[in-house]
Structure 1
Amino acid sequence: MRGAFLVWVIAVMTLHASPTMAQNREKVKVIFEQALPNVQGKKMVAVTVSYPAGAKSLSHRHAVSAFIYAYVLSGTVRSQVDDQPAKVYHVGEFFYEVPGSHHRISQNASNKEPASLLAVFVVDAKDAPLTAPDKGTGSQ
């Protein structure tokens, strides 16, 4: 009886923890993907990244060939690429990542307001996935 109760408590805690964990993560949506007709073997992919208040992405790397242009659509986004200092970007500001970059910090800079950005990738057509979390940080 006590074992069944413990299993029930763990199950309830897990169910309640999952939505909280999901709310602290970004949501990525592919909005455009097209082969580049004038650059053989390359494609352009555009995604929106939406961050609820206080949400963040795991530290990650992108496909080896990816050049990325990121433009803040709403709110404020804190970003750190490679060993550059972390910086907060506001609506209308942008940053970029060269191929092979390590995106150490990518998060909503506000704990009260949502934020979003548009990320445009120019990448080898065969490179996948576009984003991979660092080993040991869990899956995205």
Structure 2
Amino acid sequence: MSAAVCLLGGVTFAAEDAAKVTPLMQKDLPNYPGKEGLMISVEYEPGGSSPIHKHEANAFVYVLEGSIAMQVKGEKEVTLSPGETFYEGPSDIHLVSRNASTTEPAKFIVVLLKNKDAPVVMPVE
């Protein structure tokens, strides 16, 4: 599995070749010492996906276009359409993150509230 790496202010985010990850904003949260907000966009080509991972962050997902299949460990898989949302907690293992279509691209925004020194994403075997 080949990975592309995106650097944002010392933060590394790895994604499969089928995903394009674009950093949009990174901001320290002065009311929450040691915490930061990070906003990224993720684009999947048709049939694209990300490997099993976790964030150790509060992750808020908003679908912009296409359909995204999402699942965290212990929950049912859901398919989201534009305007729909998804949440991952700091201890969740993200089992499924993929484009639900094999013919159309998909795009979503992720807002992560995390410890400033924590990695953006951590692979899970």
Q: TM-score, normalised by structure 2?
A: 0.84
Give the corresponding residue for 1:131.
121
Q: Deviations over 1:89-108 (max 9, x none)?
A: 00000010111110000000
CA distance in 2, matches of 1:44, 1:121: 6
Q: How far off its partner does 1:83 sit?
A: 1.4
Match of 1:82 among 35, 49, 73: 73
Report the equivalent of 1:97. 88
Number of aligned positions between the proteins: 110
Higher strand share goes to which structure? 2
Partner SS for 2:74? coil
Q: Work out the CA distance in 1 between the residues paired with 2:68 and 2:123.
A: 19
The equivalent residue for 1:47 is 40
Of 113, 119, 132, the match for 2:104:
113
Higher helix share: 1
Asked whether the equivalents of residues 93 and 124 of structure 2 are also in contact (C-alpha less than 8 Å), the reply is no
Pair member with larger Rg? 1
Write the distance in 2 (CA, Å) between the matches of 1:104 and 1:41: 28
**Partner of 2:12 in structure 1?**
none
Amino acid at match of 1:104: L
* Aligned match for 2:24, one of 20, 23, 31: 31
After TM superposition, which residue ranges in structure 1, 4 or more long, deviate above 3 angstroms? none
TM-score of the aligned structures, taking structure 1 as reference length: 0.75
- For 1:118, the aligned partner's letter is I
Q: Percent identity?
A: 33
Structure 1, unaligned runs of 5 or more: 1-20, 136-140
Question: What is the distance in 1 between the residues matched to 2:109 and 2:100?
Answer: 16
